[in-house]
Chain A
């Protein structure tokens, strides 16, 4: 595909993650963007494009741009959608840079998901999600409820167990222990997991990601310009998004296959890489189950064996395929997808500290694999040599 390796990630910025940021999503966005530009050795004056996504809860580019004092925006993206589009935002920014429509894009996501706007709109009126009319009246609307149905379907078809789900949570917490940014840094055991309370069976509290206040920003520019900047660029080698079936209404039929299975071949083809080339994988983990289904659908193990694969230790930091090296959304925090990209960049720069995967050259980072709203998105990133 035409824009392989043409755009690069030149900077990454965070705000602290918390349960109550005490500030607006606009302030979070500004702080994360400023930190990302500092990291890249750039200033606000270098920015000519902004990109974000939202579900009615964040700050759009045309508010952020004047607030930051960006002189002129030549391209922007204000994508409606949740985690499933999180990586499409990065991909579209890479396309904008590769096409010349933009020179330097900052992608950001600012979210007060704990203190202000909880996912699914369960604290207020139902979210304006298509086909919610066939579920919300039954008390079925929040993401844990949705994913409980998908998880159960996988358990029925493939025999995936509570213990296998638990190993995802336990393994990721072990990574978070090594991540100073993580919200949850106390180790947990499988017994802790099994003792945690039901949220929506078969999902327990420790199957669920952390509702988080925080923001993250990613600076994207051309590979050529990135090489003149102080930090080692990370190339965007593969960036795809898409899908087909909608799972929300149940028309998809088989909940045990995600949209990741549909986009994975295009992703690997664009990047010129395969599952065997991936050194580290940051797999969207709104819930433990989404990791298991993506291990299958991105081709790391045969279909139906994601549970045993996750429980085998293969996805631990010292395993064959380290997954969610920062602790993921389950333990680091949930910024709706973008903090997976940021962690992948840290791993490829070799700056991930105690949780660094030795020699990581190629990373997969993925979005919500297409449940609820059809479609997903994913990136393959490579260290620049």
Chain B
């Protein structure tokens, strides 16, 4: 009613203009939330083409690349991770989600502005020596990537010294060690002790199927997480709260 009146009286042209602008903003916000949701949904569905499409739309709509990653891709990956923990999604589907997310990241990353996102935290990640179980570690990398960390992935069966060298060279904020076997886990305290001697900056986190919070504590790790989504939460808490 009021709106119609606005248009009837030229003296209120100014108000009409305000109205139009407000509608534009509303539309933009709507569009923005649609785009972010589109990005998240495409990630969850593992639809690579759609993910790339939404990433491009995000840039066209002037959405900040960092926001698109965090509120689109990352939100999607969190849902994926939750679904895995609940047994609603399995590794093959997650790997497709990962493919979709990385495709979107490729579009968005060149547009990241350090001003909005700050300097990303660096994570050195790998599976300890003697252990080739790397599927879990790859999922952890995925969640760190989705959360905007810079991950240096050392792969699997990583010699103890390599973790320390990489942490020092890269100035890592966090070193994540993965192990699935009791035989290889014993390398964790060795790496952690060396790291403590050589890099007083990096916090350490451990994880992997057969590990437990108690073992993590015995090994002297600063943090432990039972799954990839929790790994990011614990990492953020450790990095804001210090060691």
The answer on A and B forming one complex is no
- Residues on A lying within 8 angstroms of B by beta carbon are none
